Chain A
Amino acid sequence: RKEVEQDPGPFNVPEGATVAFNCTYSNSASQSFFWYRQDCRKEPKLLMSVYSSGNEDGRFTAQLNRASQYISLLIRDSKLSDSATYLCVVGSSNDYKLSFGAGTTVTVRA
């Protein structure tokens, strides 16, 4: 079983729509959680950290569910520029390894 699993998508949504997707992780000792965004042929860039209480950054909302071991990302009022692959990243507290999911592809259409 992979340490971090994501629905690869693609999620094809119209502009202005809301899109949400999850990421599950297997290591219960995980302590740090992040969402990264990766554009085609570019490097991953930090989108936001995910805190236990959940957090919001503009149109983006991240949630953590420790009991079920998943994190989620919700994008409201989607823009064309939100089209990208979103990588879920989980950090372990016992070896401090950052594990990446394979990514969820989102395509926002006009």
Chain B
Amino acid sequence: EAGVVQSPRYKIIEKKQPVAFWCNPISGHNTLYWYLQNLGQGPELLIRYENEEAVDDSQLPKDRFSAERLKGVDSTLKIQPAELGDSAVYLCASSRDRDTEAFFGQGTRLTVV
């Protein structure tokens, strides 16, 4: 069974440019998470979806970040415009249900210069 797939693996952009990340969760997993991880820190939740509904986006900086999960499967996370402080690893994870263990993709390492 394929795991969580994310793309791209690496992205380098100039500040003020837009960037988008894509995630394909494990088949049949209803819950999808986007996390941000800085060096030496644990993952921090940006947004959680249950099917196509965003049920927790309280930590998403909505002035520049947006996300969608059309049809309740794939998801995209967008930043526009990117700032230097957005440099981090963006992790997507999925779980069968909202209270079961989550499985992570390999992440997208974003560098804003």
Contact partners of A43 in chain B: CB under 8 A = 91, 104-107
Contact B45 A97 (CB under 8 A): yes
Q: Taking beta carbons and an 8 Å cutoff, which residues of B are in contact with A?
A: 33, 35, 40-45, 48, 55-56, 91, 98-107
**A28-73 interface (Cβ within 8 A of B):** 31-32, 34, 42-46, 49
Known: A100-B44, A103-B42. A44 touches B99 (CB 8 A): no
Contact partners of B101 in chain A: CB under 8 A = 34, 46, 49
A26 adjacent to chain B (CB < 8 Å): no
Contact partners of B105 in chain A: CB under 8 A = 43
Query: Top 4 A-B pairs ranked by shortest CB distance?
Result: A100-B42, A43-B104, A96-B98, A102-B42
Q: Taking beta carbons and an 8 Å cutoff, which residues of A are in contact with B?
A: 4, 8, 31-32, 34, 42-46, 49, 87, 89, 91, 93, 95-103
Nearest chain B CB to A32 CB, angstrom units: 5
Nearest chain A CB to B88 CB, angstrom units: 13
Contacts A93-B99, A103-B40 given; 16 further ones with Cβ under 8 A? A32-B99, A42-B106, A43-B91, A46-B101, A46-B102, A49-B101, A96-B48, A96-B56, A97-B48, A97-B56, A98-B102, A99-B45, A100-B35, A100-B43, A102-B40, A102-B41
Contact A101 B102 (CB under 8 A): no
Residue among A91, A96, A101, A103 with the most chain B CB within 10 A?
A96
Contact partners of A101 in chain B: CB under 8 A = 42
Report Cα–Cα, A32/B99, bound state, in Å: 7
Smallest Cβ-Cβ distance to B41: which chain A residue: A102
Report Cα–Cα, A34/B42, bound state, in Å: 14
Residue among B56, B102, B103, B107 with the most chain A CB within 10 A?
B102
Contact A96 B43 (CB under 8 A): no
Smallest Cβ-Cβ distance to A6: which chain B residue: B42
Contact partners of A89 in chain B: CB under 8 A = 102
Residue among B43, B56, B106 with the most chain A CB within 10 A?
B43
Contact partners of B106 in chain A: CB under 8 A = 42-43
